[in-house]
Amino acid sequence: MTSALFSICAIFACLASGSAEDCLDCGVEYDRSYIPDGQPGFVNCPLCYKLDIDGDVHYNFTWSKNGSTAHVTSERHARIYVDGSKMKFIPARLEDSGYYQCVVWNSTKCFKKLVEVKVFQNDDGLCYNWSSSFRQRGHVKSDEKVVCPVLSNYVDENRVQMRWYKECKLLNTISSRFQAVGFELTIQNMTKGDEGNYTCETTYEYDGKLYNLSRTIDWNVIVSKEKKPAVITYPRNNSIEVEIGFQVSLVCSASHKGEEDVPLFWIVNDMYADNYDTSRVVTGLPFDTILEDGTALKTVYLNISEVKKEDYENKFACVLQSTTVPAIEFLFIKHPAPNFQGGLIAIFVTLALVIIIAVLTYKVFKVDIVLWHRQSCLYHHSSKEDGKIYDAYVMFPKSRNTKSIYSVDTFVLKVLPEVLEKQCGYKLFIFGRDELPGEAIADVVDKTISESRRLIIILAGIKSSNDFFEDAFEQQIALYDSLISNKFKAILIELEKIADYTNMPESIKYIKQKQGVVRWKGNFTDSSLLPNTRFWKNVRYRMPPVRDLSSQTLHSKLILPCESLGIKVA
Ligand SMILES: *[C@@H]1O[C@H](CO)[C@@H](O)[C@H](O)[C@H]1NC(C)=O
Ligand SMILES: *[C@@H]1O[C@H](CO)[C@@H](O)[C@H](O)[C@H]1NC(C)=O
Ligand SMILES: *[C@@H]1O[C@H](CO)[C@@H](O)[C@H](O)[C@H]1NC(C)=O
Ligand SMILES: *[C@@H]1O[C@H](CO)[C@@H](O)[C@H](O)[C@H]1NC(C)=O
Ligand SMILES: *[C@@H]1O[C@H](CO)[C@@H](O)[C@H](O)[C@H]1NC(C)=O
Ligand SMILES: *[C@@H]1O[C@H](CO)[C@@H](O)[C@H](O)[C@H]1NC(C)=O
Ligand SMILES: *[C@@H]1O[C@H](CO)[C@@H](O)[C@H](O)[C@H]1NC(C)=O
Ligand SMILES: *[C@@H]1O[C@H](CO)[C@@H](O)[C@H](O)[C@H]1NC(C)=O
Ligand SMILES: *[C@@H]1O[C@H](CO)[C@@H](O)[C@H](O)[C@H]1NC(C)=O
């Protein structure tokens, strides 16, 4: 120790003043050194920020207790000794507490600074002194690390074995939530219950003696209030439909959790809604609604008392002026689109109904309509010459062996001509009445049929295909012409009810299936001779339109009732 003291004196002698008092005084270090009583403690020479010093390589360090001229020895076996820039207490004792001066010097420069060393005892009954503990904190639910502080000068972190205590009780750091690695204690899934005073401890060996090194951390667990930054939940650039003149409430909502300040307001065309059109537009103050899960819903209204045309162009925007996630969302007011769909459906339904009714009407009144049309001024029948002489060729059974034959003759020779020829103006060819004597039957039939527009077949008293027509040949030719060459239409008239057509020739069956039959239900009274009965209308409907009336030789009085009677029914 004397040699060290001597050397300092020798150096200082070289300096201008020649003593330690001439060293630059850097005052007292604010950072105290706390050392648990009985434990090793290393005190670093405090730096003087007034000097530009890089490391201890170029300097000598001299330690001494304040007020003492005696320097701390560098003898390594002493309890207190200087090791480079450090002063080491192995171990520290309570009475070591106090100020120590560190003098840093080289041949040209020198400074000195005081540092306070505090050797403390544990609190009563505890393994730590709380007022000398370190403060650390972590968050609930996360994995946190409690760090054993300032031990790197003493032990190698990679090899150190730390014992951890919580409130002086040893922690199980094997297969538990606590893991000790190096200077760190990792606590998984931190809970509020993990709060407390943690003491880390390891063993320090020096000169064959074992010492305890311990630090205590006052560990606080922060239960942070769950925070969710505010977001506008409505509108999200939506649009609403409002008619002109109506009132509307635009609502804007932002949800958030734990945010102190959520400025939410409406702007119209980039100006505060409050200043927009105060006569119509009013905005309220935002208000919070707290939902069950703790989320707050901030809502602000923009009420328009009367929507005007300009509102459809206005840009209504809700602004969230949050510092975390600022946002702007638009809400457009739109004119309601006319309901095309409903109208279209109505139109289609109406159309369908009209069509159905028209079709039904036509089905029911087809005959009347056609007859009415024929004689109406709308109908201009082309009296183009088709080379035909007769409107119809009348074919009927001539068999005399049926009891109804009298009726057939009456019908064919009296009734038919009376109505169709006299009253309606048709010209008929009735075989047996109109053929000229001496003509060959086949010639007559062939010629006359080609000169006729229709073929009227009278069905009555038919028992079998054989007695259908006496002149089978003549009839078959006519039928053949009628059906196969399809030159003209056939009109089947049943004079009596024929239940069974199985015996009929194929050609008759074919006509019946294709064109149906007209059934004579009347007797031979005067009323059956009126052309406006259903029977005659059906026949007339199947007949061609009456030819040019003026060319007919018939009396006009007789024709007119026939044509005009058709109108009444419609
Ligand atoms: C250091 O010692 C000197 C001389 O004894 C004294 O005047 C001074 O107050 C002491 N400084 C501190 C911080 O105790
Ligand atoms: C002493 O320290 C000062 C400051 O770092 C440096 O400028 C100077 O060169 C040193 N003197 C010697 C002799 O090393
Ligand atoms: C420190 O002191 C020793 C002798 O006491 C001296 O030999 C050495 O040069 C000094 N170092 C510096 C950097 O001044
Ligand atoms: C705890 O340490 C402080 C200094 O940090 C000291 O003043 C106090 O006396 C110590 N407590 C005990 C019980 O020693
Ligand atoms: C964390 O701890 C809480 C309470 O002890 C528990 O409900 C939760 O399931 C734990 N989570 C994980 C990931 O271990
Ligand atoms: C640490 O211990 C002190 C005194 O023993 C106590 O007041 C403090 O609450 C403890 N710290 C924690 C985080 O429990
Ligand atoms: C070190 O601490 C342990 C427990 O904390 C104790 O049993 C032991 O006696 C202490 N050793 C010394 C040298 O103080
Ligand atoms: C709405 O429009 C604004 C501005 O254009 C845009 O920043 C925002 O992301 C839009 N929001 C949505 C939900 O699309
Ligand atoms: C706006 O309208 C809403 C609902 O229509 C109503 O609750 C609110 O009080 C109105 N705000 C203002 C400022 O008139």
44-62 tens-digit pLDDT: 998 776 666 665 457 889 9
List ligand 3's pocket residues with C-beta within 6 A: 7, 58-60, 106-107
What is the Å distance from ligand 4's center to 69 Cα?
29
What is the Å distance from ligand 5's center to 164 Cα?
22
Residue with CA closest to ligand 1 atom 14: 99
User: In angstroms, rounded to a whole number, what is the distance separating the alpha carbons of residues 434 and 395?
Assistant: 12
pLDDT at 241 over 90: yes
Task: Please report the pLDDT score of residue 43 as a whole number.
Answer: 95
- Ranking 154-158, 266-270, 392-396, 435-439 by mean pLDDT, the lowest is 435-439
142 lines ligand 5 (CB under 6 A): no
Closest CA to 150 of 46, 55, 28, 34: 34
* Superfamily name with CATH number, domain 130-222: Immunoglobulins (2.60.40.10)
Identify whether the C-beta of residue 35 lies closer than 8 Å to the C-beta of residue 119: yes
Q: Tens digits of per-residue pLDDT, 98-123?
A: 999 999 888 888 889 999 999 999 99
List ligand 6's pocket residues with C-beta within 6 A: 130, 195-197, 218-220
pLDDT at 266 over 60: yes
For the chain, the structural domain boundaries read 2-120, 130-222, 229-334, 380-564
Query: Exposed, middle or buried by CB within 10 Å (0-12, 13-18, 19+), for 156?
Result: exposed
Ligand index nearest the alpha carbon of residue 280: 9
pLDDT at 327 over 60: yes
What is the fold, at CATH topology level, of the domain defined by 229-334?
Immunoglobulin-like (2.60.40)
Which amino acid makes up residue 534?
R
Q: Do 229-334 and 380-564 fold alike per CATH?
A: no
Pairing of strands 248-257, 390-395: unpaired
Task: Please report the pLDDT score of residue 564 as a whole number.
Answer: 45
Task: Please report the pLDDT score of residue 400 as a whole number.
Answer: 52
Substitution candidate for ligand 5 out of 186, 189, 191 with most atoms within 8 A of CB: 189
Catalytic residue check, 474: yes
Task: Please report the pLDDT score of residue 477 as a whole number.
Answer: 62
Q: Tens digits of per-residue pLDDT, 472-495?
A: 555 666 666 666 666 667 888 888
Residue with CA closest to ligand 1 atom 5: 67
Mean pLDDT score, 76-97: 95
Closest atom of ligand 2 relative to the 53 alpha carbon: 5
Substitution candidate for ligand 1 out of 64, 99, 112, 116 with most atoms within 8 A of CB: 99
Q: Tens digits of per-residue pLDDT, 273-289?
A: 888 888 999 999 999 99
541-544-548-549 Cα dihedral, nearest 10 degrees: -40
Task: Please report the pLDDT score of residue 475 as a whole number.
Answer: 62
* Whole-number average pLDDT of the chain: 81
Q: Which one of the listed residues 144, 329, 474, 563 is annotated catalytic?
A: 474
Question: When comparing pLDDT for 228 and 240, which is higher?
Answer: 240
pLDDT at 560 over 70: no
Looking at the DSSP assignment, which residues form a beta bridge with residue 282?
303
Identify whether the C-beta of residue 197 lies closer than 8 Å to the C-beta of residue 133: yes
Q: Tens digits of per-residue pLDDT, 4-35?
A: 444 443 344 333 333 455 788 888 888 899 99
109 lines ligand 2 (CB under 6 A): yes
Q: Is the pTM of this model over 0.85?
A: no
Substitution candidate for ligand 8 out of 318, 328, 332 with most atoms within 8 A of CB: 328
User: In angstroms, rounded to a whole number, what is the distance separating the alpha carbons of residues 309 and 303?
Assistant: 16
* Superfamily name with CATH number, domain 2-120: Immunoglobulins (2.60.40.10)
What is the Å distance from ligand 7's center to 213 Cα?
9
Task: Please report the pLDDT score of residue 106 as a whole number.
Answer: 83
Mean pLDDT score, 170-196: 91
Closest CA to 511 of 529, 484, 537, 535: 484
pLDDT at 551 over 60: no
Which amino acid makes up residue 517?
V
Domain 380-564 - what CATH class? Answer: alpha beta
191 lines ligand 5 (CB under 6 A): yes
Identify whether the C-beta of residue 369 lies closer than 8 Å to the C-beta of residue 570: yes
Question: When comparing pLDDT for 129 and 566, which is higher?
Answer: 129
DSSP 549: G
Task: Please report the pLDDT score of residue 292 as a whole number.
Answer: 83
Give the pLDDT band of residue 558 (cuts 50, 70, 90): very low
Cis status, amide bond into 326, omega within 30 of 0: no
Mean pLDDT score, 325-330: 90
What is the Å distance from ligand 1's center to 86 Cα?
21
Ligand index nearest the alpha carbon of residue 57: 3
Residue with CA closest to ligand 3 atom 1: 60
User: In angstroms, rounded to a whole number, what is the distance separating the alpha carbons of residues 72 and 93?
Assistant: 15
Residue 16: Cβ within 10 Å count:
6
Q: Tens digits of per-residue pLDDT, 392-436?
A: 888 777 655 555 556 777 888 888 888 888 888 888 888 778 877
User: In angstroms, rounded to a whole number, what is the distance separating the alpha carbons of residues 19 and 50?
Assistant: 20
What is the Å distance from ligand 2's center to 86 Cα?
20
